[in-house]
Amino acid sequence: MLFPKVNVDLWSRIGEDMRTDAFKVQAVDWLAGAVRVETETFDDMGPVDEDPRWESRLAFHDYLETAFPLVHGKLKLTKVNTYGLLYEWEGSDASLKPILMAAHQDVVPVNPDTVQDWTHPPYSGYYDGTRIWGRGSNDDKSGLIGTISAVEILLKNGFKPTRTVVMPFGFDEEGGGLRGASSLAKVLEERYGKDGFAFIIDEGGGFTEQYGTIFATPGVAEKGSFSIRMDLATKGGHSSVPPEHTSIGILSALLTHMESHPFERQIDRTTPTYQMFQCLAQHSYSMPSSLREVIRHSLHSDEALRKAESVLLKDRVYRALVSTTQAVDIIHGGVKSNALPEEAWAVVNHRVKITSSVEATVSRDISLLKPLVEHFNLTFSAFGKPVPLSSPLSLSYPSEGSLKLSYVGGINPPAPITPWDLKDKNNETAPFRMLAGTIRSVFHERRKSADGQDAQDVVVSPGMPTVGTDTRWYWNLTKHVLRYSHHDSGNSTNPFEKAHTVDEFLDADNLVETIKFFLTLILNADESREF
């Protein structure tokens, strides 16, 4: 565990205040107010100076300025590309590398057809005495509010940092950060230089109970991501004289073929996910002994590794962590019930495993689709280039249509791996060790019994979130990228289980602990001289 030493009295005094009902009410008000401002990001949004849907961010900026007056009165604020927020809290020692605490302002849209399915309206910020409900309460306004409120509290208590604290808040993370974090990254590199930060922390893995033990899994790696659009074009006409397969039927067959052929799912010993499994085997209270043994033996036995896979990969989240994934997320076709659809299209999202590449994933997609393209007598082009077919179309058998693959949005390769080994005491792993100690101390403090005895502990293991983050734009700023949200996922291996769906919520107690986590992280980083 790692507790502040120089500022221990300050930390203890603030901690006492944070245990009160009055503070919980304040924390709930902060997050609920943020949820009430709709900051949706859509896939088809245009430039920031043209599309009026971006303007919701201005209302959010106004809210932050009202809710956090000390932050806005004492920190330097730069607005980047109109809606990106860059707060800088200058420290007294310029020789110390700053820390960067990132979050994003935006949320995924609420499907209008599901509004009636919400327990409480999605932008109400309703508090039922236990939970704050609404879009963004979990992903990621809780992270943004947790960060900025920690700074507000420290300012209120007279703290002056030695190490500079920087908070960039992007505005289109749910669209890949193409306009927000990408623009913020350029400004940050101009001001602080390459490798100018001690570490970056952004949303990511939380803590959860697995096999009877609480594990926290900060992300030290991130899968790559990109989406492809599949455009299928065929001849139109009256639906009374249909062909054997319409464009919708052919596209459906192609998509079904993809889903029927998932990417290889195997555990790689070189990855942080494998180290997490080893940690589970070592520290879990209730893991079946047979599974514990095969995980341990898998260090040197391929047979044991395959046996471990047969059990572990029954979990959908674990399967996603170890493999490249594909998800058919959008499909569209047809305009009239009695007219043959001339066009149909779909979007497939890929998350690329850290031992693969975007190029390998694209190559595999093309190879997988080619036999069906030939079967349906189509022409085939991928990313602006024709794809040669083994049975070229001839004049005797003209094409029945065409399939075109293209990219949609950004193309992100897998991230570099952050140095993480807790046993390695050199400076290369100091930021991760500091984070691990902070997680344990905050978790411990919130669960102490009245007489001060320990009630529960948490084991910290390297992890990897299944989702992408704005940190993809910040790789030049440091090699210490930490992806962690101090969220309690219960007994689920998926910290984002309640994000991007109906009835998103966050427990109020979890919010208070999140604020305490960021506050403690700032103080611990301020005192460290290992990085």
Q: Specify the 3-state DSSP secondary structure of 8.
A: helix
Distance from C-alpha of 24 to C-alpha of 512, rounded to nearest angstrom: 7
Which is the catalytic residue, given 38, 88, 106, 203?
Answer: 106
How far apart, in Å, are the Cα atoms of 122 and each of 45, 271, 299, 498? 21, 38, 47, 13
Residue 300 annotated as part of some ligand binding site: no
Residue 480 marked in a binding site: no
Look up the CATH number of domain 225-412. Answer: 3.30.70.360
**Where would I find the H helices in 193-287?**
247-259, 272-283
Report how far residue 86's alpha carbon sits from residue 135's, in angstroms, rounded to the nearest whole number. 23
- pLDDT one digit per residue (tens) for the chain, 531 residues: 999 999 999 999 999 999 999 999 999 999 999 999 999 999 889 999 999 999 999 999 999 999 999 999 999 999 999 999 999 999 999 999 999 999 999 999 999 999 999 999 999 999 999 999 999 999 999 999 999 999 999 999 999 999 999 999 999 999 889 999 999 999 999 999 999 999 999 999 899 999 999 999 999 999 999 999 999 999 999 999 999 999 999 999 999 999 999 999 999 999 999 999 999 999 999 999 999 999 999 999 999 999 999 999 999 999 999 999 999 999 999 999 999 999 999 999 999 999 999 999 999 999 999 999 999 999 999 999 999 988 655 444 557 899 999 999 889 999 999 999 888 877 899 999 999 999 999 999 888 765 556 667 899 999 998 888 999 999 999 999 999 999 987 766 655 566 788 999 999 999 999 999 999 999 999 999 999
The predicted structure's pLDDT at residue 451? 58
Rounded Cα gap, residues 287 and 84, in angstroms: 45
Contact yes or no for 100/477 (Cβ under 8 A): yes
Question: Which of 220, 205, 65 shows the shortest CA–CA distance to 148?
Answer: 65
Residues with Cβ within 8 Å of residue 197, at least 6 apart in sequence: 97, 98, 99, 100, 166, 188, 477, 478, 480
Distance CA 429, CA 418 (A): 8
439 vs 429: CA distance, rounded Å = 16
Rounded to a whole number, what is the distance in angstroms from the first to the last CA of the chain?
A: 18
Residue 37: CB partners within 8 Å, gap ≥ 6? 56, 59, 60, 63, 123
pLDDT of residue 395: 43
Q: Is 139 annotated as a binding residue?
A: yes
Q: What pLDDT does 494 receive?
A: 58
Active-site residue, 117 included: no
Q: What is the H or E stretch that residue 432 is in?
A: helix 430-446
Residues 473/202, Cβ–Cβ less than 8 Å: no
* Gap between the Cα atoms of 68 and 64, Å rounded: 6
| In the chain, domain spans | 8-222+415-527, 225-412
Spatial CB neighbours of 223, under 8 Å, sequence gap ≥ 6 = 324, 351, 352, 353, 354, 414, 415, 464, 466, 468
Say which residue the tokens 């054997």 belong to: 244
pLDDT at 398 (0 to 100) = 58
Distance CA 407, CA 383 (A): 7
- Write the DSSP symbol of residue 298: T
| Residue 173 is among the residues annotated as catalytic for this protein | yes
What CATH superfamily classification does 8-222+415-527 receive? Zn peptidases (3.40.630.10)
By C-alpha distance, which of 139, 106, 496, 485 is closest to 320?
496
Q: Which of 173, 309, 488, 526 is catalytic?
A: 173
pLDDT of the residue at 119:
96
- Secondary structure in 3-state letters for 139-171: CCHHHHHHHHHHHHHHHHCCCCCCCCEEEEEEC
